[in-house]
Structure 1
Amino acid sequence: MKKLLVPTDFSVHADAALDFASQLARKHDAEIFLTHVVLTPVNWTKLSKEQEKLYPDTLEVIRNAKKELSLRMERLNEIGVRANERIHFSDGKERLVSYLASEKIDMVVMGSHGKYGFKAHVLGSNTYTVLRKAGIPVIVVKPSEKAFSFEKVVIATDFNEASGKAFQKIGDTIRFMGGTPDLLFVNTPANFMEDAQIKQLGKEFLKKFGMYPHEIHIYSAYNTERGILQFAQEENVDAVALITHGKTDLQQLFSPSVTENLVTYLDKPVISLNVTAFDS
């Protein structure tokens, strides 16, 4: 993983994500792609310089964005991190996923605005919605007084074979960050199974998709989110990872809303990867 995309709105929350990405970049000689999204009234890339003058407010936003990006690029240069900056113009027709593909971005690191609800306060919730379709790991972090650690990370899974390839990818991501992932199966009343059944599922799943040893934890809870939250707090894990599915009507696969709820309520980094990008 050599290319890390960091979306920024220039807040302290985005800067926390940039700090974390910088740690990874320095450790692994990776490159940071610092990106700011500017909402434009039209397709900005199609305008001539003369036509741009018809939108003075947007020009002012772009000028300020360039200044803020330059300040952060200076700091990255000072600490010896390879980086480049980019302003992404969005008129409602997202083109960010194609940019990720063209630049061969490996991972996204973005910030969260705190415990006030995902939709309103996660950094660039619309951007996050786009990014999670890209088939690369997305890591959401919150500002922390402690140094980020990924030694103890748990992957929430249902052992469904459809998530096998994504499981391998997210495992590689965790190891890239210095962690050793364990597995968590949340046993809920709606899809209750006996422990022996769950352990057998896990054994078969790891036999097919596991490349390293993994400890399997079983936790009973009323629903998936509640189980993950309680387990993460009780075991004091450093981060939580999960594989989501774009279709929320499949009970056996985690929906994207689970990730959003975890980001809102969990005071830990959350790593997500959408399994649909691995569908053949």
Structure 2
Amino acid sequence: MIKLLVPFDFSEQAQNALDLTTHLSSKFDNVEITVLHVIEVPSTSGMGTMGGGEMIPEYENQIFFIELMNKRKQQFKDMENKYAGNKYRLNTKIVLGNAFQNISSAIVEEDPDMVIMGSKGSSGMEEVLLGSNAEKVVRTSHCPVLTVKANINPDSFKKIVFANDFREDQDELAQRLKNLQKWFDADLYLVLINTPGNFETTRESTARIKTFVRKYAIEHAVAEIYNSVSEEVGIVEFAEDIDADMIAMATHGRTGLVHLFTGSIAEDVVNHAKRPVWTFKIK
């Protein structure tokens, strides 16, 4: 069974992600889609006997949340009816609390093969201070995450850019990448970004990409070397130059102070690229 998780906040971006998910799922047998909606609840933190905080909605908000919960339940019931009768099975789930924490919990509990979620992206000070839920999910998820910003037709997908340094053994990443290619029936553009601070010859870079292709039996692939001022800029620009349909890459999932000072190329690309971005956290 293929299990897909779609965080859903009733935004345009979330609907774009769901449309992509259902369109893809209709092509395969035995697919289960879980659509997760998180109702964020303002809370006060009180220390219980076990020392933990407790979520306590204020009294004046209780009627509002009851009405909102009833509205969301009806919307999800309508959604289930809308998508009934297809090859895939669509389930809906509503939870209360913090969006990122509940999405993370669902990933652990559901153990999906992929998370597909909408993203608005962020930039500037907003990116530094807050980031997006999509960015945080990309950083922490143990399964691949596909972020979607626009309404796209997966039938038109022809080119997937896979950006990597191709230096180390990446068995699980390579298998996941091949599965992604199979899902979309697209060609792979294996690109290494050459930057001034990390320069190497085309011969060296090309040799590593070819080794990667042979070792993992990658088919329908093109090797590319692209020169740019930084990895992030190079990935986005290369995808634009060849009019790619998707960007795929790995993330190391750094958190805390290490993430604050070093950042993450994958998360930057998720924020700034207009195209769908598939990421997988390597250990």
Q: TM-score, normalization: structure 1?
A: 0.80
2:222 paired residue number: 215
Distance verdict in 2 for CA 1:24–1:183, change over 3 Å: same
2:32 counterpart letter in structure 1 = E
Do structure 1's residue 260 and structure 2's residue 261 form an aligned pair? no
Deviations 1:213-245 (A, max 9, x none): 632100000101111111111111111111111
Aligned length: 262
2:224 counterpart letter in structure 1 = H
Instruction: Look up the SS of the partner of 1:136 in the other structure.
Output: coil
CA contact (8 A) 1:10 1:68 kept: no
2:178 paired residue number: 171
CA contact (8 A) 1:112 1:140 kept: yes
CA contact (8 A) 1:108 1:139 kept: yes
2:203 paired residue number: 196
1:130 counterpart letter in structure 2 = V
2:18 paired residue number: 18
C-alpha deviation, 1:20, in angstroms: 0.4
1:17 and 1:109 map into 2 onto residues whose CA distance is 6
2:74 and 2:174 map into 1 onto residues whose CA distance is 40
1:33 paired residue number: 34
Distance verdict in 2 for CA 1:131–1:153, change over 3 Å: closer
With 220-229 and 102-111 compared, the bigger mean Cα shift is at 102-111
C-alpha deviation, 1:15, in angstroms: 0.6
2:5 paired residue number: 5
Instruction: Look up the SS of the partner of 2:34 in the other structure.
Output: strand
2:252 and 2:2 map into 1 onto residues whose CA distance is 26
Mind listing any 5+ residue stretches in structure 1 that lack a counterpart?
A: 44-50
1:62 paired residue number: 69
Mind listing any 5+ residue stretches in structure 2 that lack a counterpart?
A: 46-55
C-alpha deviation, 1:202, in angstroms: 1.9
C-alpha deviation, 1:275, in angstroms: 0.7
* Percent pairwise identity: 31
Do structure 1's residue 71 and structure 2's residue 72 form an aligned pair? no
Instruction: Look up the SS of the partner of 1:215 in the other structure.
Output: strand
C-alpha deviation, 1:58, in angstroms: 3.5
1:93 and 1:153 map into 2 onto residues whose CA distance is 28
| RMSD, aligned α-carbons | 3.2
CA contact (8 A) 2:139 2:254 kept: no
1:91 and 1:141 map into 2 onto residues whose CA distance is 21
Q: TM-score, normalization: structure 2?
A: 0.79
2:20 counterpart letter in structure 1 = F
